[in-house]
Chains A and B, each alone.
Chain A
Amino acid sequence: MKYRCSVCGYIYDEDKEGVRFEDLPEDWRCPVCGEGKEGFEPMEDEEPAPVRAPEVQEAPSVEEGDLRELSAAELSALCSNLARGCEKQQLSRESELFKQISDYFWSNRVVPDHDGVASLLELIGKDLEAYPAAKDVVSSAGDRGSLRVLTWSEKVTMIMDSILTRYRDDPSFLQHTSVYVCDICGFIYIGDNPPAVCPVCKVPGFMILRAGGVA
């Protein structure tokens, strides 16, 4: 019997592990994302998921000029990504210039009033509510690129939600461990042995970089 983590997709295979899932201790956690046992679902015998008829939705109308203006922080991310793109093309001067513009926008960001982890969890909760509708919109438009980024960032956000909730409930869980971030999709891994392949974007493990460790 196999069990799949509903947060990151990690599969616990009873045959390979030699321990039945129900015999694992109650405080056992997903080795990839730290989700508890309750977040695992038994896998049926690989039956393909029933094809869900796409719900026909009245798409919200977007008026000219109705698109949300990019904030200074978003413009900073836009430009740091263009800097990365130039770097890949070996355009070092162009990359430097985009970094300069990115830094300018970051220095003009607005920091909202906040309550740290609690505020982050609140925003994350809203994001997780927004993903399904956003994915429907881009799917029906046939925009696979947007569907890709929404799929990846939804998974990364679910894992972040699970990690921050765990920290809020028991801050000591971060002691004596390292923290890694996938440099491609942003997947956060808590532990000392990051996976060989990123569970979200499938990039090789050497792109999962250590953010640091707490002794």
Chain B
Amino acid sequence: MVRMYASRNLRNCTKDCMCLYVCPTGATDTETGQIDFDKCIGCGDCVRSCPNGAISLIPYTYPPQQPKDDQCVAAVRAISHSKALQEAIAEDAMSTSDDPALFLLMKAVRRSNRLMGEDLVRETGYMLPQSGEVRRLLESLIANPPDGFPVEAARELLGLLRFTE
């Protein structure tokens, strides 16, 4: 079985405290509202006892992701490319607008295009931060960094993430 740790969704937590009663290590009783991941042994007792379904288990490691077909990647990428252009145009139109209605509309269009772009790009093999695709992307950016690229951030990520491959 995959090793897991419990995590509290603060939006749902109504402080019923059942997780405090059942936790064998005291990991659920903290001043931050979140569970102490270092103390948690992933037994799942808090998940089962929470009356509001506010706790779930997060795995330490993930399985390799489904491979993506090149045809599909090309089809999706043609559209994500357009969404990125539209996001940049909307932001530019927003910053040069003195009409509050247009400003607001462009703000919404910019955000909408970012969300669509994120969703499209992630479906081309970059869904899971710990995937092999992400590792290879970070490695290639470190090997050939574009001007001003934050190499240290990429290196730290390579060290922190437990990659699937």
B1 at interface by CB-CB < 8 Å: no
| Interface stretch (choices B21-29, B45-53, B92-100) | B92-100
A137 at interface by CB-CB < 8 Å: yes
Q: A78 CB to closest chain B CB, in angstroms?
A: 5
- CB atoms of B82 and A214 under 8 A apart: no
- CB atoms of A74 and B117 under 8 A apart: yes
User: Which A138-156 residues have C-beta < 8 A from chain B?
Assistant: 138, 141, 143, 145-146, 148-150, 152-153, 156
A19 at interface by CB-CB < 8 Å: no
Q: What B residues does A48 contact at CB under 8 A?
A: none
The main secondary structure of chain A at its interface with chain B is: helix
Please, how many residues of chain B have a CB less than 8 angstroms from a CB on the other chain? 70
Most buried by B among A68, A153, A163: A153
Q: Which of under 10, 10 to 19, 20 to 34, or 35 or more describes the interface residues of A? A: 35 or more
Q: Which of A62, A167, A180 contacts B74 (CB 8 A)?
A: A62
- CB atoms of A146 and B75 under 8 A apart: yes
**8 closest pairs, A vs B, by CB?**
A73-B84, A186-B112, A186-B115, A81-B118, A77-B117, A174-B101, A134-B75, A153-B116
Hey, which bits of chain A sit against chain B, CB under 8 A?
A: 59-60, 62, 66-68, 70-71, 73-74, 76-78, 80-82, 84-86, 89-91, 93-94, 97-98, 100-101, 104, 108-112, 114, 116-117, 119-120, 123-124, 126-127, 130-131, 133-134, 137-138, 141, 143, 145-146, 148-150, 152-153, 156-157, 160, 163-164, 167, 171, 174-175, 179-188, 211-214
- Given A70-B77, A101-B153, A182-B115, output 9 extra A-B contacts at Cβ < 8 Å: A68-B78, A81-B119, A89-B58, A104-B150, A123-B89, A137-B72, A138-B76, A180-B108, A181-B115
